[in-house]
Amino acid sequence: MPVVGQDKLNIFIATGPTAGVYYPMGGGLADLLTKHVPTLNATAGTTAGSIANLQLMQNKKADIAFSMADASWDAYKGQQKFAAGAVPLRALMVLYPHRMHVVTVEGSGINKFADLKGKRVSTGAVNSATEVMALRLTEAHGMTFKDFTQERLDPGKSVDAIKDKKLDAFFWVGGVPTAAVTELAATPGLKLKLIDHDDGVAGMTKIYGPLYVRDTIPAKAYPGQDQANRIATVWNVLVARADVSDQVAYDVVRTIFERKADMERVHPESRNFDLKYQTNAASVIPFHPGAIKYLAEKGVKVQ
């Protein structure tokens, strides 16, 4: 539970791996909340990602968290990795599109998704939503993780392993640009290759519902990336435990929208923070009453 000290409420924001986007974005948010909301003292911490964040919320060790919509849906419904018990959580706001990257380099022998067979592939860190989405995408292509040698690394460690020739490819779902992918693309002697996989979206939505959409990572998003990459995307959602007060929820959403320019300086994906994306279709789970109040003041009706 949040702790009151010196008239300030301490809240913890669960983010993601240091080489991803959640981590800097969460740190920036914590700084803004502490600076601009007199009643809050916010701190952010690195985690494995969405699943780990939702487990922290379940154990009341995090108040607010970044999550992919598919992971928060499973937690809210008490299914898949949360079959032991639903997590009482609510959406604060829809953030930005989380784009699946299937990353390799020239010379790996991987030119299409099926070429992952028999290769050394990282499916994301343990308890990350990358792992969840990677499994669903792999299944949609008629494969399983047993079709390749599976590693379970975060994006930073995946890049190191590719450089050391200990890994052929990795899955990563995150914002664009992701620092680790940029680093790989900028490595002398290596040429980044992003594998198209949008043909798997239909199969994913058939099984799991309308959580995923066809999308692209535009050309030139990464150094040496000459062509647009056709991909699967899921929305990111900022979530809160249901017992977070309406006032705290309201203050968090208000601060993000009022300080959007500050958040953009933290990471360019913050450009996507927009009232038009605040819909129940994108959030998947119900909104927190405090968020509903703020959005209503801005003319946006959600449930």
Question: Are 90 and 131 in a shared domain?
Answer: no
Location of structure tokens 């990358």: 130
What is the domain count for the chain? 2
What distance in Å separates the CA atoms of residue 26 and residue 97, rounded to the nearest whole number?
16
Q: What is the pLDDT along the chain (303 residues), one digit of tens a residue?
A: 555 546 899 999 999 999 999 999 999 999 999 999 999 999 999 999 999 999 999 999 999 999 999 999 999 999 999 999 999 999 999 999 999 999 999 999 999 999 999 999 999 999 999 999 999 999 999 999 999 999 999 999 999 999 999 999 999 999 999 999 999 999 999 999 999 999 999 999 999 988 999 999 999 999 999 999 999 999 999 999 999 999 999 999 999 999 999 999 999 999 999 999 999 989 999 999 999 999 999 999 999
What distance in Å separates the CA atoms of residue 16 and residue 155, rounded to the nearest whole number?
11
What distance in Å separates the CA atoms of residue 30 and residue 53, rounded to the nearest whole number?
16
Give phi and psi for 263, each to the nearest 5.
-65, -35
Domain boundary among 185, 203, 234: 234
Question: Are 202 and 290 in a shared domain?
Answer: no
Question: Are 246 and 292 in a shared domain?
Answer: yes
Query: Is there a domain that residue 279 lies in?
Result: yes
Q: Which of 271, 239, 267, 273 is nearest to 25 (CA)?
A: 267
Domain boundary among 211, 234, 257: 234
Work out the number of other CB atoms within 10 angstroms of the CB of residue 258.
Answer: 11
Angle at 2 between CA 269 and CA 40, to 5 degrees: 60
**What pLDDT is recorded for position 7?**
82
